[in-house]
Chains A and B, each alone.
Chain A
Amino acid sequence: MAAHEIEVILARQLADSLTVPIFLTDNKGTLLFYNEPAEELLGRRFEEHGPMNLETWSVIFDPQDEQGMSIQPKDLPLVKSLTQRIPAHGSFYITGLEGRRVYLSVTCIPLIGEGSRFVGALAIFWEITQL
């Protein structure tokens, strides 16, 4: 049982302290945590399902563009941050696990620690109607 990287742990601490929704993955894209404000949009408490791999979370919320077309996982901002190690931003619809469709603005950053260690990525997102 290995501990997570310190940057990931501190990012989770930050997410726990903020009232904006945050979604946190490790460097393989495994969802490690999302905070309470994110639970409201995603429709389920994180503890109900626990960690989730990229292949699952990138489709389970049915991301769609403004024309209602499905967005391929590789085109999601968080997947871009994970694969290209760059900040990425986008706006799209998801359907929460309780069935509520929401339009989100999402900004993602790669987490790169001391020694250029790529340890994960986090997404901060917002329901557009709240802007």
Chain B
Amino acid sequence: MIVRYWGTRGSIATISPDTQLYGGNTPCVSVAKDEHLLILDAGSGIHRLSQAKYYTDFDEIHIILSHLHMDHIQGLGFFEPFFSAESVVHIWGPPSAKHSLQARLSRYLSPPLFPFTINEFQCDLHIHEMHQEQFILGPFEIQTRYVCHPGPTLGIRIDTSTSTCTYIPDHELYLGSVNFPHNPTWTTGYDLAHNTDLLIHDAQYTEQEYNQRIGWGHSTISQAIAFAKIANAKKLRIFHHNPNHSDNQIDQIMTRFVNEKEIEIGVAKEGSTEELP
């Protein structure tokens, strides 16, 4: 399984010299194995994936949306395969209580926010509504569970026969758990992260920042680490970087955690790749 980070920034794209190391594009992560490609979220990072023509070696393209906040879908309209009649693209994501996934996506992919509608995409497009599911796509067994974040938001676990990757880009652990981090059965997302090889998890805030933003739907770096520990994840990648944090600030914040030995902790870096068995 090859995991590649195309966008790691949360909330709003922050392309600047100060964010070149960890990246300024909003969430998009690809997971590939053999001829199968999953694209997790379609933030502005999907444009970079598209420009790199990373999709060309794969038979079908599956875009799995964790939720429909703007930073996770804003790149959709800039993904080239949508405009090729030869492409087969599947979009998976959560509907809301009263609106279909297509209707929700169309709020963005229609005038005045976008010049044309989703119905005008030229590819062979399939839209799949997804709640808490378990299903197979090629070599991937995919499991989704709702996690604590404003609006219907899914965490995603991807198992292959040899390794597991868990992607929970937006998750407020403190509100979505009872007595966190001491009670796994009362912690949202725990099942997805349990014993995973690679946990890509929201860690937008420092403690000080979080105290001003309780209820905004995100976690602190130390909460993400505590979650990875109780879930017995092998590797944690800090994700959904705060748009107010420069590379230097992220490095400085991470120095507080250099003595963490139980799990391998790293900062998800746009443009980087990691391979799981």
A 1-21 binary contact with B (CB < 8 Å = 1; else 0): 111111101101100100000
Asked whether A115 is an interface residue with its Cβ less than 8 Å from the other chain, the reply is yes
Q: Is the beta-carbon distance between A3 and B178 smaller than 8 angstroms? A: no
Contacts of B184 in A (CB 8 A): 1, 3
Asked whether B139 is an interface residue with its Cβ less than 8 Å from the other chain, the reply is no
Docked Cα-Cα span, A6 to B131, in Å, equals: 13
Q: Is the beta-carbon distance between A12 and B186 smaller than 8 angstroms? A: yes
A16 CB contact (under 8 Å) in B96, B178, B185, B187 = B178
What is the chain A residue whose CB lies nearest that of B177? Answer: A9
Please give the distance in Å from A33's CB to the nearest CB on chain B.
Answer: 8
Q: Is the beta-carbon distance between B186 and A6 smaller than 8 angstroms? A: no
User: Given A114-B131, A114-B152, A9–B97 Cβ distance below 8 Å?
Assistant: no
Interface centre among A3, A4, A5 (most CB of B within 10 A): A3
Asked whether B175 is an interface residue with its Cβ less than 8 Å from the other chain, the reply is yes
What is the chain B residue whose CB lies nearest that of A115? Answer: B131
Q: Is the beta-carbon distance between A2 and B176 smaller than 8 angstroms? A: no
What is the chain B residue whose CB lies nearest that of A33? Answer: B178
What is the chain B residue whose CB lies nearest that of A15? Answer: B178
Asked whether A44 is an interface residue with its Cβ less than 8 Å from the other chain, the reply is no
**Residues of B contacting A: mostly:** loop
Asked whether B191 is an interface residue with its Cβ less than 8 Å from the other chain, the reply is yes
Asked whether B77 is an interface residue with its Cβ less than 8 Å from the other chain, the reply is no
Q: Is the beta-carbon distance between A117 and B131 smaller than 8 angstroms? A: yes
Contacts of B94 in A (CB 8 A): 114
Bin the interface of chain A by size.
10 to 19
Q: Is the beta-carbon distance between A115 and B178 smaller than 8 angstroms? A: no
- How many inter-chain residue pairs (CB < 8 Å) link A and B? 50
Q: Is the beta-carbon distance between B186 and A4 smaller than 8 angstroms? A: yes
Docked Cα-Cα span, A7 to B175, in Å, equals: 12
What is the chain B residue whose CB lies nearest that of A2? Answer: B191
User: Given A10-B176, A16-B178, A3–B191 Cβ distance below 8 Å?
Assistant: yes
Q: Is the beta-carbon distance between B152 and A3 smaller than 8 angstroms? A: no
Contacts of A114 in B (CB 8 A): 94-97, 131, 146, 152
Docked Cα-Cα span, A12 to B188, in Å, equals: 12
Docked Cα-Cα span, A16 to B187, in Å, equals: 15
B 23-45 binary contact with A (CB < 8 Å = 1; else 0): 00000000000000000000000
The B-contacting residues of A in range 66-117, CB under 8 angstroms, are 113-115, 117
Asked whether B122 is an interface residue with its Cβ less than 8 Å from the other chain, the reply is no
B 173-194 binary contact with A (CB < 8 Å = 1; else 0): 0011110000011111111000
Contacts of B131 in A (CB 8 A): 114-115, 117
Please give the distance in Å from A49's CB to the nearest CB on chain B.
Answer: 17
Give 22 pairs: A residue, B residue, CB < 8 Å, sorted on A.
A1-B185, A2-B185, A3-B185, A3-B188, A3-B189, A3-B190, A3-B191, A6-B145, A6-B147, A6-B148, A6-B188, A7-B146, A9-B148, A9-B176, A9-B186, A9-B188, A10-B175, A13-B176, A114-B95, A114-B131, A115-B131, A117-B132
Nearest 6 pairs between A and B by C-beta?
A: A115-B131, A3-B190, A6-B146, A6-B188, A114-B152, A3-B191
